């Protein structure tokens, strides 16, 4: 069939690796709220390295970043499977047109009310049956992408500031720009690996 599974690390485009213009739409499973939002498992790419990420002045989640990347290939977002807080956040901060199936009800970062396996499968089968009729959300493209990342501590900030093209705004906040999401994603993954290596220096 047309199903392929990508695994292993590192990957230049991480969760969105392999996408191109041949894809009809983007479907996101198991997504969560961005860091700082009271959803289950809230974080943005790395809970131990990044505190928050903004693109063009707006807080973004992993779902946002991946949808922004996919639209570079004219691939729209058609379905998200996520907890209730993430669903609410996407509808309030991105678009009410995004189809979201609630996976669970968040209680706190590490606690949630989760349906039975049978109920989950039934909901997913029903959602899958009508997937093709869901509206497609075309994330707006930008001529330039400006990204600001607030890091977890000043040591990570110092190390990330050593990367060419990175501007330090304060001791733990960095900024960079790219003409497209491909370049932005490469910066994002580079900073993630730099931050991870800094943490390992003291183990």
Three-state DSSP state, 18: coil
| Best CATH choice for the domain 14-200 from the list 3.50.30.60, 3.30.470.10, 3.30.1360.130, 1.10.287.990 | 3.30.1360.130
| Residues sharing a CB contact under 8 Å with residue 106, sequence separation 6 or more, in sequence order | 33, 38, 39, 40, 83, 84, 85, 112
Q: Which DSSP symbol is given to 110?
A: T
The domain locations on the chain are: 14-200
pLDDT at residue number 203 = 64
pTM (two decimals): 0.92
Cα(29)–Cα(141) distance, rounded to whole angstroms?
23
Among 35, 29, 69, which Cα is nearest to 50's?
Answer: 35
Low-confidence ranges of the chain (pLDDT < 50): none
pLDDT digits over 66-80, tens only?
999 999 999 999 999
pLDDT at residue number 9 = 87
- Between helix 181-200 and helix 62-70 the angle, nearest 10°, is 140
């Amino acid at each position: 069939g047309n199903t392929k599974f990508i695994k292993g690390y590192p990957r230049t485009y991480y969760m969105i690796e392999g996408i191109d213009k041949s894809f009809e739409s983007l479907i996101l499973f198991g997504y969560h709220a961005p860091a700082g939002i009271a959803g289950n498992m809230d974080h943005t790419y790395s809970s131990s390295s990044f505190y928050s990420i903004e693109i063009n002045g707006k807080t973004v989640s992993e779902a946002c970043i991946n949808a922004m990347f996919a639209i570079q290939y004219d691939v729209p977002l058609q379905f998200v499977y996520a907890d209730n807080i993430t669903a609410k956040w996407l509808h309030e901060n991105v678009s009410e047109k995004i189809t979201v199936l609630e996976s669970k009800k968040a209680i706190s970062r590490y606690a949630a009310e989760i349906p039975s396996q049978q109920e989950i499968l039934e909901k997913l089968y029903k959602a899958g049956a009508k997937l093709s009729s869901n509206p497609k959300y075309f994330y707006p493209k930008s001529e330039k992408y400006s990204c600001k990342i607030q890091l977890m501590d000043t040591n990570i900030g110092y190390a990330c500031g050593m990367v060419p093209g990175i501007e330090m705004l304060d001791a733990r906040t960095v900024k960079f720009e790219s003409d497209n999401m491909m370049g932005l994603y490469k910066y994002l993954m580079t900073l993630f690996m730099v931050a991870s290596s800094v943490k390992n220096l003291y183990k």
